[in-house]
Structure 1
Amino acid sequence: MTDQNPAAQTLSGHGRYAYSALPDRPVYDWPGGKRLAVYLALNLETFDFGGGLGAELAPGGPQPDVLNYAWRDWGNRVGAWRLRDLFDVLDLPASILVNSRIYRDCPGLIEAFRARGDEIVGHGRTNAERQGTLSETEERALIAEATAVLTREEGRAPAGWLGPWISQSRVTPDLLAEAGYRYLLDWCHDDQPTWFATRDGGRILAVPYPQELNDIPAIVARKDTGRAFADAIVDAFDEMLKQAEHAPLVMGIALHPYIVGQPNRLRPLRRALEHIARHRDAIWLTTAGAIATHAAGQLPGPTPERPGATGA
């Protein structure tokens, strides 16, 4: 594909990458000669009581909105643990998208997923705020604060980032690259990883993150049932496994414990994940970070100094 200079951003364009048709790209394999990489993204989030943003089970009333706050809190107290057990039973790795204040608000929760060997991914401070509405100075401080907490708690800096509420400003990829992040998850523009050009000749990899196979848009926004969401996972998996005969693809599944951890939705989710697990010999069951590492070695990088030059 061709790459554009991020400095050339306009109101109608972002300058991060240029159009690239999937059939025209080089073909490569994932490890083991596989063509479909599948990862689970489990969002572990914390919210402010009496204010801030938050998904709603039902229309919220005046603050404090106890109904919706308690529903979300149930996810960290109960739902996340049931999902951990399900992942254990099916031997599924996961990328855990972590609000840094979870360590304070839910002691022991992240540690339980760390013990599984799961990847810990930066996900801001809390999901009561959006980073894309902040000034550049404020956004840089948010990224620095969340990164410092995860680095201290995990003993290593996170490689990947998903903004709370998929929120980005026009300089978010630049700030993440400058903070040492290797990949971001906010964009759902492709089924393959894509290099983004960042300022001063930098780059950061975008790993596909799902919005169709994401329980918030599906269940909270579109009002799908748990069974319909599980059916969508199975249908997408079967189709992508077929499409991957022609090109390496990434299939992500985005989960929130307060939604799919609920028993009425956990049961159909179990069925969908069992279906995927039965095909483990034909796919690469992995993490977003492992996908980023492998893809970075396969894709030529962007050349932001020369807009229009060939890249990945």
Structure 2
Amino acid sequence: MLPSHGRYTYSPIIRRADYRWPQNRRLAVYIALNLEHFAFGEGLGAQLAPGGPQPDVLNYAWRDYGNRVGVWRLLDLFEDLGLPVAALVNATLYDYCPEVVAAFRDRGDEIVAHGRTNSERQSTLSAAAEAQLIADTTKTITHYEGTPPKGWLGPWIAQSHQTPDLLQEAGYTYCLDWCCDDQPIWFKARQGRLLAIPYPQEVNDIPAIAVRRTSAADFADMIIDSFDEMEEQSQQQPLVYGISLHPYIVGQPFRLRHLRRALKHVVQHAKLYSEDIWLTYPGAIADYVMTLPEGTVP
């Protein structure tokens, strides 16, 4: 036997109970927009080009473009298309650029906790330090939003061995860190359980564009092709399709033009097949799963 995480057991997707999303829909679609803040001169951060010694001005400024310019262009796009958006928020943004988070709050979008900053990775912390990171993030978001966040995405999709336990004990109902399924699944926690909502690592501009150097046009085609294929697959069983975006990447003008094409395709099909497609938030998906009969979701 190989070492196991012990959080879930194997469940082939073709052998699960069938159910439907609200109003008998089959495909739940959500946009995850990562709103991130980075320390200057230290810590982690995605790179446009190989960075030199700190302070790495080139890559820091490239990332900061997302908060200063890219996010506002994306907001215009979301408004034009009438798209709901889950804002995955680094808590330090409330100090740095509170206007950005306020813009999504004013739209009524879901605010998902995304740690303090993407300059750190929680998987390297002690249990006490990780619990403090979660507590700090939760306290800040609750203070500004009025209610605690339901969902969590770890900075750099990083989890320690105890992360699901700490999240569940801190009051979270779902996490987005695991990309192992196209349906929600339950994770065991030491004092209960935590729902894992599918979050994409393929239809995600960081690994696709920043790592594999996929072109803007190809990334847009990935969004469309995945949507079309999952729309067909969802006739057999309910599925979740997430699209993960970062303003400093897809907020660049030449990528934004292709993203607009892809999201228009999604919205047009959602209107044409409104009986099958649910444009929503990960928190709404989690809320609905909790109303299903016990045993429906593995």
TM-score bracket for this pair, using the shorter chain length: over 0.9
The answer as to 2:161 corresponding to 1:170 is yes
Q: Which structure 2 residues correspond to residues 1-312 of structure 1 after superposition, within 5 A?
A: 12-200=3-191, 202-280=192-270, 281=274, 282-298=276-292, 300=294, 312=298
Instruction: Give the secondary structure class of the aligned counterpart of 1:132.
Output: helix
Following the alignment from structure 2 to structure 1, what is the Cα–Cα distance between the partners of residues 58 and 100? 23
Instruction: Give the secondary structure class of the aligned counterpart of 1:298.
Output: coil
Give identity over the alignment, percent.
Answer: 63
Following the alignment from structure 1 to structure 2, what is the Cα–Cα distance between the partners of residues 27 and 164? 33
Q: Is the 8 A contact 2:151 2:174 kept in 1?
A: yes
Q: Is the 8 A contact 1:237 1:276 kept in 2?
A: yes
Following the alignment from structure 1 to structure 2, what is the Cα–Cα distance between the partners of residues 244 and 107? 38
Following the alignment from structure 1 to structure 2, what is the Cα–Cα distance between the partners of residues 198 and 208? 18
- Count of residue pairs brought into register by the alignment: 294
Q: Is the 8 A contact 1:92 1:285 kept in 2?
A: yes
Q: Is the 8 A contact 1:205 1:296 kept in 2?
A: no
CA deviation after TM superposition for structure 1 residue 23, in Å: 1.1
Superposition TM-score, scaled by structure 2 size: 0.97
CA deviation after TM superposition for structure 1 residue 11, in Å: 7.1
Q: Deviations over 1:55-87 (max 9, x none)?
A: 000000010000000000000000001111100
Following the alignment from structure 1 to structure 2, what is the Cα–Cα distance between the partners of residues 103 and 123? 12
Q: Deviations over 1:244-282 (max 9, x none)?
A: 000000000000000000001000000000000001213
Gaps of 5+ in 1: 1-9, 302-309
Q: Deviations over 1:111-140 (max 9, x none)?
A: 011101100000000000000110000000
Following the alignment from structure 1 to structure 2, what is the Cα–Cα distance between the partners of residues 55 and 141? 24
Superposition TM-score, scaled by structure 1 size: 0.92
Q: CA RMSD in A?
A: 1.2
